[in-house]
């Protein structure tokens, strides 16, 4: 069996907890090299996964190693530069979310992937979670009738608890946004995948707790979808002691709750007398908390796409769609007005 040869660029928390262990779990993957500007971090991860080559310069790594693909797990402002460089070396790319910091960057990434005929996938894993996949089937089936409104939340105590060396999260020049870019992009992608595209946003953002922080640590967004559904997206880096990653849909015939109730990852309540509550047997939502780490489905999706076994589950076009909506939220908070997503320019 020919193995897919992988290089991982960046060995921080997302590589440590998601990319590296999920690649290592596959027999058809070989982790050839890792790269990090902090050599000691890269050496530690290399030793853990039996990786023979360690680099501190990604350009040197992609030039010297015979790779098929790379994972890009570095600060947001570097995503576009490194993605384009890898694609131009004819490598498939899995880039962490948000895929870029501007539409000009994302469009160049997408165009380069198309020109080179390579896979460009974005690590927006929430649409791959089993409870969300089943929820989409339930919504699409009409079991609960029309969706009228929704509320979705993603909050935890902050990136410093997940990635102790990730000070860049709090720097606008490197992150471009705070909880909106870190967590909001996940929920925006999920909602658009489950329902339809967001048409208009009204966003309030604030920095309420984090010191030396030039981005939002809390944001609340009111969204209107293209099909008329309205809802809220809440993001936070100040939720303690536990995170919240739940979504509730209020529908014509009842309510659907995802990752809201502690004893049931996915549960429906029906208006019709006698139907009551229905809990579905699905795995819980992956989390950053103790015991919450298991396969996100992202690496499986990436490798299976490279091998031609499935269609890319999160192509660059979907990553750009989520990015565009996040940029609309940032503009709304800045200008104190509602913003049409289509108004956002490259």
Q: Which residue has the tokens 């290592």?
A: 24
Nearest to 107 by CA among 332, 327, 308: 327
At 332, give phi and psi (nearest 5°).
-65, -45
Separation CA 336–CA 313 (nearest Å): 35
Yes or no: say if 145 and 117 are a contact pair by the CB < 8 Å rule: no
Residue 288 predicted with pLDDT over 80: no
Separation CA 142–CA 127 (nearest Å): 19
Yes or no: say if 65 and 51 are a contact pair by the CB < 8 Å rule: no
Reported as a pLDDT band with limits 50, 70 and 90, residue 284 is confident
pLDDT at residue 306, as a whole number? 98
Average pLDDT, the chain: 96
Residues 220-257 pLDDT 10s: 999 999 999 999 999 999 999 999 999 999 999 999 99
Domains in the chain and their CATH numbers? 4-123+298-314 (3.40.50.720), 126-289+321-343 (3.30.360.10)
What radius of gyration do the chain's Cα atoms show? 20
Residues 136-157 pLDDT 10s: 999 999 999 999 999 999 999 9
Q: Give the mean pLDDT of 307-335.
A: 98
User: What percentage of the chain exceeds 70 in pLDDT?
Assistant: 97
Residues 248-279 pLDDT 10s: 999 999 999 999 999 999 999 999 888 899 99
Q: Which residue has the tokens 């966003």?
A: 203
User: What percentage of the chain exceeds 90 in pLDDT?
Assistant: 92
- Cβ neighbors of 335 (< 8 A, separation 6 or more) are none
- Cβ neighbors of 178 (< 8 A, separation 6 or more) are 169, 170, 205, 207, 210, 213, 215, 216, 217, 219, 237
Tokens representing 80 are 């576009």
pTM of the model: 0.96
- List 244's β-bridge partners, or say none: 155
Residue 291 predicted with pLDDT over 70: no
Residue 123 predicted with pLDDT over 60: yes
Q: Give the mean pLDDT of 317-321.
A: 98
Residue 183 predicted with pLDDT over 70: yes
Q: What is the DSSP string of 73-106?
A: -S-GGGHHHHHHHHHHTT-EEEEPSS--SSHHHH
Separation CA 199–CA 75 (nearest Å): 28
Reported as a pLDDT band with limits 50, 70 and 90, residue 346 is confident
Greatest CA separation found in the chain? 67
């Amino acid at each position: 069996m020919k193995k897919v040869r992988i290089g991982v660029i960046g060995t921080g928390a997302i590589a440590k907890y998601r990319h590296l262990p999920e690649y290592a779990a596959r027999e058809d993957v070989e982790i050839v090299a890792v790269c990090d500007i902090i050599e000691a971090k890269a050496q530690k991860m290399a030793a853990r996964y039996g990786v023979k080559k360690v680099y501190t310069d990604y350009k040197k790594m992609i030039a010297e190693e015979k790779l098929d693909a790379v994972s890009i797990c570095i600060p947001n402002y570097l995503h576009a530069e490194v993605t384009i460089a890898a694609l131009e070396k004819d490598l498939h790319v899995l880039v962490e979310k948000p895929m870029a910091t501007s539409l000009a960057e994302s469009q160049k990434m997408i165009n380069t992937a198309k020109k080179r005929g390579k896979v460009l996938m974005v690590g927006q894993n929430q649409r791959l979670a089993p409870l969300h996949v089943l929820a989409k089937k339930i919504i699409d089936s009409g079991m609960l009738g029309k969706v009228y409104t929704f509320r979705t939340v993603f909050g935890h105590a902050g990136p410093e608890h997940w990635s102790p060396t990730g000070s860049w999260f709090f720097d606008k020049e490197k992150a471009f946004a705070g909880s909106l870019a870190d967590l909001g992009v996940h929920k925006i992608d999920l909602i658009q995948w489950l329902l339809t595209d967001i048409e208009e946003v009204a966003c309030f953002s604030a920095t309420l707790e984090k010191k030396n922080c030039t981005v939002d640590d809390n944001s609340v967004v009111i969204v209107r979808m293209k099909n008329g559904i309205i809802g809220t997206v809440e993001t936070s880096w100040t939720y303690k002691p536990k995170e919240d990653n739940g979504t509730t849909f209020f529908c014509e015939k009842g309510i659907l709750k995802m990752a809201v109730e502690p004893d049931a990852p996915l549960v429906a309540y029906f208006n019709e007398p006698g139907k009551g509550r229905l809990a579905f047997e699905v795995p819980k939502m992956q989390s950053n908390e103790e015991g919450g780490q298991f396969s996100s489905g992202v690496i499986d999706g990436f490798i299976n796409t490279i091998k031609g076994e499935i269609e890319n589950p999160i192509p660059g076009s979907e990553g750009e769609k989520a990015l565009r909506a996040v940029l609309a939220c940032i503009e709304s908070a800045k200008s104190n007005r509602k913003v049409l997503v289509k108004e956002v320019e490259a």
